[in-house]
Amino acid sequence: MTARITGSTGAPYARIMSVGSYRPERVVTNDEVCLRIDSTDEWIRERSGIVERRYAAADESVVDLAVNAAGKALAASGVAPDQVGFVLVATVTHPYPTPSAAAEVAFRLGAINAGATDISSACAGFCYGLAMAQDMIRCGSAEYVVLVGVEKLTDWIDLTDRSTAFIFADGAGAVVVGPSQEPAIGPVVWGSDGSQLDAICMTQSLTDYRDHGGTRFPTLSMKGQQVFRWAVSEMSKVSNQALERAGVSADDLDAFIPHQANMRITDALIRALKLPAHVPVARDIETTGNTSAASIPIAMDRMLATGEVPHGGTALLIGFGAGLAYAAQVATLP
């Protein structure tokens, strides 16, 4: 006789309860970046919209950045650390294959009852995590989830590579996701395209570097035009699908918060989406650079803090990057 297993039951819906972010202290101007690459402040602004970015200190780890942002989000949520059922950390720059960054983040937050794992979906990681957090809560695997997007990309880029050095930076953003009686996170639209792995990738694996590497440590490389074309043509469709699945029209949005990949991608997406002019758009890349998995929650925190978008407003979120992985959903802002 087969034993009967008791199934889990969770909350009807989930919502983002709070957001917190951490920008490292050190501001790096375009002029400083140009000390190592053949470029100019004007060219970088024109091609990316970036004016300055933040670099973490040498002794500041991915986990340090994550704990800082997650601590702020947790405090703002009113959820006690021991109530957290899961800690998800979206990152591709934690320098250890194991143990996970999430296990250490959970420990340092005092989330002693939490499961913990990392999400490796690069710039799509935050939106992947938001969908996973919502599913955990609705299925009863966790009541509260701490979701962090964090990167210390400066450890993994070649600061003399003029196609990437000016774009990437360091930072962390976090949200607490909890139960809700009303739908507050729309259905996710996600996917990946492994046929374009070379569009954004590492120059070689760590084991190849160990065995045949020579002097060049593996760093991030990117085919900018290929990524631009994919992002604008495909992500406008994915954005529209996310709106459609949530039953929300672009006109109803209080904010559009795309991954802060490049201001030119954001502008092209706005054109492709025919986004109404009254919808505020995240442009945090200007002073934060591209922080991959961290960019959406950092931008969200800033837009709420400056009053540019209202608490409880409706936002379209979309992350996209290496993999080529992407995820989008409509969510109610905390």
Partner 1 sequence: MSQEIQDGLAVIINEVAGVPVEDVKLDKSFIDDLDIDSLSMVEVVMAAEDKWGVKIPDSDVKNLRTVGDAVDYIAKATA
232 contacts partner 1 (rule: CB under 8 A): yes
**Residue 99 preceded by cis peptide, ω within 30:** yes
Between the CA of residue 128 and those of 58, 83, 147, 198, 328, what are the distances in Å?
29, 22, 10, 21, 8
271 contacts partner 1 (rule: CB under 8 A): yes
For partner 1, the closer of residues 205 and 233 by Cβ is 233
Q: Which of 37, 268, 296, 316 binds partner 1 (CB under 8 A)?
A: 268
* Distance between CA atoms of residues 295 and 257, nearest Å: 9
Residue 139 a catalytic site member: no
H or E element in which residue 239 lies = helix 224-246
70 contacts partner 1 (rule: CB under 8 A): no
237 contacts partner 1 (rule: CB under 8 A): no
Amino acid symbol at 203: T
Instruction: Give the SS3 label for residue 306.
Output: coil
225 contacts partner 1 (rule: CB under 8 A): yes
Residue 123 a catalytic site member: yes
Residue 278 a catalytic site member: no
Specify the stretch interacting with partner 1 by CB under 8 A; choose among 93-101, 103-111, 219-227, 295-303.
219-227
119 contacts partner 1 (rule: CB under 8 A): no
* Distance between CA atoms of residues 125 and 104, nearest Å: 18
* Distance between CA atoms of residues 148 and 174, nearest Å: 4
Least separation, in Å, of the C-beta of 233 and partner 1?
Answer: 6
Taking phi first (over 0 means left), then psi (-120 to 50 degrees means alpha), and beta for anything else, what does residue 33 get? Answer: alpha
198 contacts partner 1 (rule: CB under 8 A): no
226 contacts partner 1 (rule: CB under 8 A): yes
228 contacts partner 1 (rule: CB under 8 A): yes
Active site amino acids = 123, 259, 290
Task: Enumerate binding residues for partner 1 (CB under 8 A).
Answer: 46-47, 224-226, 228-229, 232-233, 264, 268, 271
